[in-house]
Structure 1
């Protein structure tokens, strides 16, 4: 398994703590993926998914967005802590997050990862879960506007997407969006609005949109409160297939 390393992203607002995984045994340069956290921070679940991506051959960088808060918080959900026990705290922290600064931090993370020796230049993708799924989408739009588009985007049930749909025309990179059909936070009416916007009415062949019947919000999180085993397995297989096609390691 790839080792998790401490790393600092250099930003205009000072260094931002992050976690870094490099694929073991890789020869030559590899593609990179910036991973954006769920509302529980860089939880054990998100870190496990980062390690999974590194095992697939990617360099993975996960910024600790809550480190900007006062006091700084790296994560509120650690191994053994039930999400429902910290949900109110997590929602409060997410509400304190400066979204515009988080987008800037995401752009800095892309630049930082692309400059690392093992990473292929211009081969940095974005991936996010829940809050991070919307943030990854926003960063993809900002990166394209800045003339340095992301290589790909993977968004798991992006909770902020309903208010970001005006950015859809700017997100031209190959994209994968996954949702559950029983999402209490993003009902199917909103999911269909998201599908219409990100696929431009089904005309964007570079966008994949996958629905998972019976799955609720955060269905990939292994905590029993959220987990839907069949949907999680299928969505991760779709993620691997998509990345292998558009960003082969």
Structure 2
């Protein structure tokens, strides 16, 4: 085993988005023992992109890379914990702050206001470019560019689908309850259902059957688009789960669906050559 060059990382307090506090008693906390974890910055489009990094402290060769894409709440403690969980599995996990040019999600305590005043202002093309730069940076800091994966949650689940149609380097994607259809705008000109024909990497979609924000008819429409495109993608629906069923810090958490989805994600990565 070897220790990779040290990256200066800042440590942040374990804070959750004010839009979803108080946190649930089911909240999972993953320690950083044996990991190199903390906040860093990535050169991207002429600016310093804030990001959270977690990877094993010692390893041989290069590590498979997983881009972790935030929920609407930004890279708060739940997303950082996801990165640490992946690092414990042997991945270099990087979660860039994809809203940072438009604003700070921690300044919003109301979800509707957060969506209207910040999230809706973030262009997809900006996000995809920042993810490209994050993947490249990771490849220069212990990551293996030939073993690149992405996973995203809620807002990030939609982005995971889009990135799988954008990046020719991507080996696999896992989208957790990301919207599949929607109104087309200047910031969101296409949606996953429009990109099914252009998927260049296998994608696993994980959805809740009780998700009122992502109706099952839209999930079925995406399945049909995948079949029509002969795309390498699969969608799993957990009939009793709602939206954000992996968000252990929220009342929506479904432990059984979350655990099954996590194992399916790891298996999907392994099956498609990420690890």
Same fold at TM > 0.5: yes
Q: Shift in Å at residue 47 of structure 1?
A: 1.1
Give the SS at the match of 2:119. helix
Q: Shift in Å at residue 132 of structure 1?
A: 0.6
Aligned to 2:204: 176
Are the equivalent residues in 2 in contact too, given 1:135–1:160 (CA < 8 A)?
A: no
* Alignment CA distance shift 1:31-1:161 (3 Å): farther
Are the equivalent residues in 1 in contact too, given 2:151–2:175 (CA < 8 A)?
A: yes
Are the equivalent residues in 2 in contact too, given 1:125–1:150 (CA < 8 A)?
A: yes
Q: Compute the TM-score of the two structures, normalised by the length of structure 2.
A: 0.78
Q: Shift in Å at residue 75 of structure 1?
A: 4.2
Superposition CA RMSD, Å: 2.1
Counterpart check, 1:101 vs 2:123: no
Aligned to 1:113: 138
Q: Shift in Å at residue 202 of structure 1?
A: 8.9
Cα deviation code 1:180-203 (max 9, x no counterpart): 111111000001111222x32494
Q: Shift in Å at residue 100 of structure 1?
A: 2.1
Aligned to 2:172: 152
1: distance between equivalents of 2:208 and 2:252?
11
Are the equivalent residues in 2 in contact too, given 1:41–1:64 (CA < 8 A)?
A: yes
Runs of 4+ aligned structure 1 residues displaced above 3 Å come to 74-77, 201-204
Q: Shift in Å at residue 94 of structure 1?
A: 1.2
How many residues of Structure 1 are paired with residues of Structure 2 in the alignment?
233
Are the equivalent residues in 1 in contact too, given 2:197–2:229 (CA < 8 A)?
A: no
Gaps of 5+ in 1: 78-84
**Bigger radius of gyration:** 2
Counterpart check, 1:220 vs 2:246: yes
Aligned to 1:241: 267
Counterpart check, 1:64 vs 2:91: no
Q: Compute the TM-score of the two structures, normalised by the length of structure 1.
A: 0.85
* Alignment CA distance shift 1:160-1:103 (3 Å): farther
Q: Shift in Å at residue 166 of structure 1?
A: 1.8
* Alignment CA distance shift 1:75-1:244 (3 Å): farther
More helix per residue: 1 or 2?
A: 1
Aligned to 2:45: 12
**1:177-192 maps to which residues of 2 (within 5 A)?**
177-192=205-220
1: distance between equivalents of 2:41 and 2:140?
13
* Alignment CA distance shift 1:224-1:120 (3 Å): closer
